[in-house]
Amino acid sequence: MVNNNLYEKITEHIKIIDEHLSIWKRHIENHEVEKRVQKLKIEVEKETLWNDANNAKKLTKEYNSLNEMYEAYNQLQRSFNDLKEIYKIADENLLDDIEKELQKLSKKIQPWHIQTTFSEEYDASDCFLHINAGAGGTEAQDWASMLLRMYTRFCETYNYKFEIVDSLSGEQAGIKSASICIKCTEKSKFPYGYLKGESGVHRLVRISPFDANSRRHTSFASVLVTPVIDDVEKIAIDKSEIREDTYRASGAGGQHVNKTDSAVRLTHLPTGIVVQCQSGRSQHSNRAEAMKMLASKLYIEEERKRKEKLKNISGEKKEIGWGSQIRSYVLQPYQMVKDLRTQLESSAPQKVLNGEIYDFLISYIKSL
C-alpha cells in the first residue's frame, strides 16, 4: 500500500532544503566567496604572514570562516543530490530511511541558512551583552540576575565562550547591572548576529519571593547587545571627551580580594554613556576592554540615530531603539513566554530561563 503521507513529507523536505540551498548558493555567488577563499588561502600560506600578528589573526579568521562555509555548502549539496537520486529509484521499503536522512540534512542546513542572512558589518563579531535592572529595587535586581543566568546558560549549551567583565550586586539580592563578553568558538559562531535581537526591555510577572503577602509583581530589566570592535580606531573617539575613574574591583574576599584600584570606569561626556570593566588583573587590561565596550556602545548609538533618521525621512512612526519592550515572561497566574515582536510563544518558561532561547533568536532573525 502506498504511504501518501510519507511521500508528502519527503516532498516537503526536498522543497525546503532546495530553497535553503538555493539561497545559500546565491549568497556564495553574490559575495564571490570562492574567489575570496582562494585569495585568502594564498595570503595565509605566505611565510611572512605573522610579521604582522594583528593582520594575520584577521586574515586567518576570515579565511577559516569563509572556507568552512564554502566546504559545508559543497558537502551538504552533494548529500542532498545523492538522496534525491536514491529517492528516484527507491522502493517503498526505503522511504522511511530517506525521510529520516532528509530530516537530518535539514537540521544541518538550517544554521548555515540562517547565517547567510547576516549582512551587517559586525554580525560575525564577538559581542558584549549588558543587563540593567529597572526600577523596583530588589525585585528588578533579582530579575536582572535571572536574565544573566539565562544568557550564560545559553552560552554553555551552545558552546560560546563568555566572561563576566563587570557586575554590580544589589543591596539584598540579584544585580543592579552586569556586562558579559560572548565569544565565538570553533563550534559556535556569529555571537552578535544571533544575539543582537535580544536588545530591549524584558518583563517578568510572578509571585514575588520577597513579598511576605505573596502578591504578584511585575519587574523590568533592559538588555543591550553590542558588537566587540577590536579595532577601536575605526570608531572616532575624542579622548578629551572621556572621563576616566578607577576603583577597587570587587572580589570574593580573603586572599583573592583586589588590593589596588585596577577597575576602570569610562564616561563619554557628550553622550553620557558609561562603561566599566573589572575582570582584568591590571588597570591597563581593564582600560583596553572598557575602550572596546565604549566603542561598541557608540557604534550602536550611531546606528540608532541613522535608523531613526531614515524612519523620519520615510515617515514611519514605529517606535525604535533598544529601550522598547520585546519579551514577556509570565510565571503567574499562567506559564508563558511571549516575544512581542514575532508573537512566538513558549509554555515552558523555566526551560527558557534555563537558556533555551534559540527558537526566539531564530524567530526574530527570520522576521527581519
Nearest CA among 318, 314, 336 for reference residue 327: 336
Give percent of the chain with pLDDT exceeding 90: 66
Per-residue CA distances from 135 to 1, 4, 300, 304 (Å): 65, 58, 24, 24
Cβ atoms of residues 289 and 295 within 8 Å = no
Mean pLDDT, to the nearest integer, of 154-161?
A: 96
Mean pLDDT, to the nearest integer, of 3-29?
A: 89
- pLDDT tens digits along 98-113: 999 999 999 899 888 8
Nearest CA among 284, 210, 201 for reference residue 244: 284
Q: Residue 61 above 90 pLDDT? A: no
Which residues fall within 8 angstroms of residue 296, CB to CB, at 6 or more apart? 127, 128, 226, 227, 228, 229
Per-residue CA distances from 302 to 69, 77, 107, 195, 272 (Å): 31, 40, 37, 19, 14
Of 26-35, 100-109, 110-119, 147-156, the poorest mean pLDDT is in 110-119
Average pLDDT over the chain, rounded to an integer: 89
What distance in Å separates the CA atoms of residue 295 and residue 277, rounded to the nearest whole number? 14
Residue in this structure with the C-alpha cell 542532498, named with its chain if needed: 80
Q: Residue 214 above 90 pLDDT? A: no
What distance in Å separates the CA atoms of residue 206 and residue 329, rounded to the nearest whole number? 9
Give percent of the chain with pLDDT exceeding 70: 93
Q: Residue 193 above 60 pLDDT? A: yes
List the Cα angle 129/260/225 in 5-degree steps. 5
Nearest CA among 108, 122, 154 for reference residue 13: 108
Q: Residue 237 half-sphere exposure, CB side, CA atoms within 13 Å? A: 26
- pLDDT tens digits along 252-280: 433 334 446 789 999 999 999 999 999 88
- 81 or 247, higher pLDDT: 81
Q: For residue 166, what is the enclosing H or E element?
A: strand 161-169
C-alpha cell at 271: 553622550
Q: For residue 263, what is the enclosing H or E element?
A: strand 263-268
Nearest CA among 359, 324, 323 for reference residue 344: 359
Using a cut of 0.95, tell me whether the model's pTM lies above it. Answer: no
- pLDDT tens digits along 230-252: 878 778 889 999 999 998 876 54
Structural domains of the chain ordered from first start: 4-115 (1.20.58.410), 127-367 (3.30.70.1660)
